[in-house]
Structure 1
């Protein structure tokens, strides 16, 4: 027979799950609205009938059809993928660092991707988007692995503070190398300048297709990590007592974070604040439960990035503001409020 406190706790848990599930459904509805706005709005708005006609009866002789099929839909899909990946990677980074203000950019991934870009252009002599994307992705992954290697092999073993310090050190070193290369070659500088702002203005379906397997695998593994991360959040000793292998879980979480953030950075450039602000705000809704925190971070981050991109497109028509700049204006005040 259940005691009185236990009998009261069960309805409370059901009520909380219902509220969180309802909130997630509403967040998904908001994401759907952001997707629709991203397709319809831009330097010039396009009517619903034209959009539907472009999807069903595409005519390359009609300018609006080209805009919808070749520009706005790939741009929306890229923003959707990059935003979701950054939100999920941010939540995993904060779990690894045990710090709600940690950001994937602190681990050298952004500068690693930048180094891959400039090496592809300046050393390999290629500007083909599909070639550059692999240089950037491999370089971003190598930078993150270097950070984790420094932390693991250092005195005192793995530690959240050491992780952030190692990430900052690697970031500064890679930044110096990047600047040394771009200052020697004008073409490399032009490629780097257009990428480093962070933009969805030139979506490449081939790049998105190349990164999709990494995004899908990373998302699936992140879902499997939700429960082990919940246990580790209780403390290392508690996790060990409950049979969770700390090193394996954190190592896998690090690999997943690198895949997601590396792919997002390659697709959209080093967009700031999404991986920092969104998981922090999602935690205010869900609490520390990663079973809810991860999906909330994914959906809200994708929504935020798409909305920021739409705002950047319409605020200075017929020109536009890069989404990285828009996110900086949005994220900086939020970060100040968080601190």
Structure 2
């Protein structure tokens, strides 16, 4: 029996097609290999802010007791902390102080202080660095409920910015270090630094055309001070209300102190002086009055005596109370056009 050949010379056609595909693929691979790993057309350039650099800062202080008074589960506590981080990011807050206002029904002060501090730092950290900076911890069990900050320094892999956050890699060279900055390859820096250290990098424009790109380590404040980038916030803890003021990280201290309360003056009728370092303090469920009463180091008899200005940022409220995370958003929104930094 003779089998019909349904595709005469078909093997040759298929073979030629395969050979042609292999040649084209080899050409394509060759072209790809000739290009630098960070070919410029792969990146979206992030423009410099139009506002220019700034040296002034705005800080806010929030009591950790709100995690006990208004949140019943760690999942809700995580979400509330995420709301605080979002508010800080939206309104360009430079520092968040987590303080103990002494208003605790249970002995959870240490755990809730630590939880708020850790989760605020977690939120501020760019996503690509979190695996290096935050090993598993019970306080991170519910981070899936957190909304992304989308902060300017939370760059995607295809974005090219003058600055970028990175972490020093375990791998290193003789006199140099390698840094993971969330790109396709690690960056080289001239210093020999400790692995695991978070650094702020300045990225030269030519680096994105290099096979082995390099960067320069700069101060974390440089993106803000030189060009006006909002570059996240720092977090510190204070064991009492008084230490919010006395443990200030600025050598000259805060030159504008603002307390918030429903018993304060209408913020719309308040004019603030120019400032270099402003601090906005929020109370917990029982207000700043309770925090003052619990602090034996403070001699003031009324909370308004602690501040330059004591304001009510929502004088027309209809609800009996406003939650602290709500008060933060309301207050920062009310203050954004009222606060005038000093001009240099």
What is the TM-score when the length of structure 2 is the normalising length? 0.26
Larger strand share, 1 or 2: 2
The structure with the largest alpha-carbon Rg is: 2
What is the TM-score when the length of structure 1 is the normalising length? 0.26
* More relative contact order, 1 or 2 (CA 8 Å, 6+ apart): 1
Larger helix share, 1 or 2: 1
